[in-house]
Chain A
Amino acid sequence: MDNLYYKVKLYLEDNSKTESEFDSNILLQNDADGNGDYIKTWSVSGVAKPTDSQLNALATNATKELNNAVIRNTRKNSYGSIGDQLDLLYKDMLAGKGDSTGEWFKSIKAVKDANAKEDA
């Protein structure tokens, strides 16, 4: 099933659970047999294993979650290293530009604007 991880994540959140359930209570699996991803094991306390229809109802929002995850990673890779960012901040502060006029702020904003998240 496409985008199964985020469908299950949203299902958990709808049932007052978190992603931490994936650590030991949920196993998603793909056996490379052409049948796609599926829930191999489910032992979430107090929450029944979702049906296909329940998961499919979450498809739109799950796609947004996935797209935003991609955007987050793109942003993360585009921001540059922490060291470089701290260097920019240091220089901005020396120049009295520790606000939105500084170079660090501009560079971060440029990345965010170029990689806008979808509304959840």
Chain B
Amino acid sequence: MAYIGKSIESGTFSVLDTSGNTYNGSNVTFSLGTQVGSAAQLLVSHDGVLQKPGTDYTLATGGTQITFTTAPASGASIFIVEISGAVGGTITPSDTSVTADKLNTALLTGQTDIGANIADADLFLVDDGAGGTLRKTAASRLKTYAGFSVSSITGATELAAQPAATDEIVLSDAGTLKRLDIKHIQNTPAVMTQKGSNQTVATGTATLITFDVEDLDTDGTFASNRFTPAVAGYYFCFGLLAFDELSDGKGAYSILYKNGSHYLSSANQVGANTSLCVTEVSATIYLDGDDYVELYGQHNHGSDRTAIGNSSTECFFGAFRIAGA
């Protein structure tokens, strides 16, 4: 006869083999021929009368024996049915029946760490087709899917603004993937300054030109009329000086100083009827972490002259790092 109601999903109903037991009115304990977990797991019939677990019988010897309260008489008719699986037996879930809730996180956390980089041949489980079939895939296949590609760029949100100095990009450094602050490939530190007021310069005297108007100072590296970038590299440095009312044949110099000493200069001489003398200088200079650059001016007019700082033709000084040099 088939089951009434839902059929069992695991385990068995089986009649235990008790043929080796001898009932004689004095023996109370008999082998079950298997191991069960509790007395209630057994249906025991004694001469056609169903026995009550815990009252009429108990288990003994770890569930491998049954002990009757009253010793069965000689010739007693006893059969025992085991309900469900035996203790320690293997239960095989039916296909696709194990759900996520049945799994413990220790399934992951309890495993030994791989302790090394993932190799191409290492395997992962994937749901092939999203709700489809669970399949294995090699790490080599994951690389082709999850690796950096053009779509990683085209699919990303556009910054649409000048990146901050600490924004980062990813690049291959001789084959090793690394992140890089964008500032390392920007032309910074950079400064641009102007002279906001006139300055008297004595004849024949190299004089530090002061610059009190900062149009640009990306990293706060211009102070006390000197540019101290604090980042080693090559810098393009430039300056223009305008001296007022130099006599015919007189000249002026723009002089770049590095660490307090003459580095490079440029001269210009005033011709007839041109009293304004403008002289420019520019140079590419290597500066290390504490090197600094200043702009000095000099003329040979014969008496004090003015380095102009309050008109449209006024002195300026600037510098910026040459990225990549």
A contacts, CB < 8 Å to B: 3-5, 22, 27-33, 37, 40, 66, 69-70, 72-73, 76-77, 81-82
**Interface contact B206-A27, CB-CB below 8 Å:** yes
* Chain B residues whose CB sits within 8 angstroms of the CB of A4 once the complex forms: 202, 205
User: For residues 180 through 215 of chain B, which have their beta carbon under 8 Å from a beta carbon of chain A?
Assistant: 199, 201-210
Asked if A72 meets B202 with Cβ closer than 8 Å, knowing A31-B208, A81-B273, the reply is: no
* Chain A residues whose CB sits within 8 angstroms of the CB of B248 once the complex forms: 76
* Chain B residues whose CB sits within 8 angstroms of the CB of A40 once the complex forms: 206
Cross-chain pairs A/B with CB under 8 angstroms, 15 sampled: A5-B203, A5-B204, A28-B202, A28-B204, A28-B206, A29-B206, A30-B206, A30-B208, A32-B199, A33-B208, A37-B207, A40-B206, A69-B203, A73-B302, A77-B275
A22 CA to B207 CA in the complex, in Å?
15
**Interface contact A30-B273, CB-CB below 8 Å:** no
**Interface contact A73-B247, CB-CB below 8 Å:** yes
Asked if A70 meets B207 with Cβ closer than 8 Å, knowing A32-B225, A82-B272, the reply is: no
Decide yes or no whether B61 CB sits under 8 A from chain A.
no
* Chain A residues whose CB sits within 8 angstroms of the CB of B311 once the complex forms: none
A48 CA to B203 CA in the complex, in Å?
22
B contacts, CB < 8 Å to A: 199, 201-210, 225, 247-248, 262, 272-273, 275, 296, 301-303
Binding site of B, secondary structure by majority: helix, strand, loop or mixed? loop
**Interface contact B208-A32, CB-CB below 8 Å:** yes
Q: How far is the CB of B261 from chain A (nearest CB, A)?
A: 9
Q: How far is the CB of A4 from chain B (nearest CB, A)?
A: 7
* Chain B residues whose CB sits within 8 angstroms of the CB of A31 once the complex forms: 208
For B302, give its contact among A28, A29, A72, A77 (CB under 8 Å).
A72
**Interface contact B209-A32, CB-CB below 8 Å:** yes
**Interface contact A69-B209, CB-CB below 8 Å:** no
A77 CA to B250 CA in the complex, in Å?
13
| Chain A residue, CB-CB nearest to B302 | A69
Q: Of A27, A28, A30, A66, which is in contact with the most chain B CB atoms at under 10 Å from its CB? A: A30
**Interface contact A37-B202, CB-CB below 8 Å:** yes
* Chain A residues whose CB sits within 8 angstroms of the CB of B210 once the complex forms: 32
**Interface contact B204-A77, CB-CB below 8 Å:** no
Q: How far is the CB of A19 from chain B (nearest CB, A)?
A: 9
* Chain B residues whose CB sits within 8 angstroms of the CB of A72 once the complex forms: 302
Q: How far is the CB of A78 from chain B (nearest CB, A)?
A: 11
Q: How far is the CB of B94 from chain A (nearest CB, A)?
A: 91
For A22, give its contact among B204, B262, B296 (CB under 8 Å).
B204
Q: How far is the CB of B74 from chain A (nearest CB, A)?
A: 126
